[in-house]
């Protein structure tokens, strides 16, 4: 039973995760993809968007989405530094 005025957890999760996934796809299409990066770096954003959408079906969608975004930033930064180091040598 839910209280009057409350939203089911799936709806609340979708209200957070769907816009985040759309944003990640837009960043990928407009910012990442035109640079023709290596396949691994190019796949990070769509992969994160799919995982964010999958987190909709967890009871803690907002927390999982936040953790996935932290992982996305860390992964993108590490891959960027690795590519920069390999081109510099």
Kindly list the domain boundaries of the chain, sorted by start residue: 10-88
Q: What is the pLDDT of residue 2?
A: 63
Q: How far apart are CA 21 and CA 46, in angstroms?
A: 8
Q: Tens of pLDDT along the chain (89 residues)?
A: 567 778 899 999 999 999 999 999 999 999 988 888 888 888 999 999 999 999 999 999 999 999 999 999 999 999 988 877 877 76
What is the spatial distance between Cα 27 and Cα 53, in angstroms, rounded to a whole number?
16
Question: Distance between CA atoms of 13 and 23, rounded to whole angstroms?
Answer: 16
Q: What pLDDT is stored for residue 41 in this prediction?
A: 85
Please work out, in degrees rounded to the nearest 5, the angle formed at the alpha carbon of residue 39 by the alpha carbons of 72 and 71.
10
Measured CA to CA, the distance from residue 68 to residue 19 in angstroms comes to 14
Question: 57: closest CA among 22, 23, 17, 86?
Answer: 17
């Amino acid at each position: 039973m839910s209280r009057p005025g409350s939203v089911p957890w799936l709806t609340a999760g979708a209200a957070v995760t769907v816009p985040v996934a759309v944003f990640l796809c837009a960043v990928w299409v407009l910012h990442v993809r035109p640079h023709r990066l290596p396949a691994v770096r190019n796949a990070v954003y769509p992969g994160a968007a799919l995982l964010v959408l999958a987190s909709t079906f967890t009871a803690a969608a907002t927390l999982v989405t936040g953790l996935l975004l932290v992982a996305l930033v860390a992964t993108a930064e590490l891959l960027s530094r690795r590519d920069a180091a390999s081109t510099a040598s």
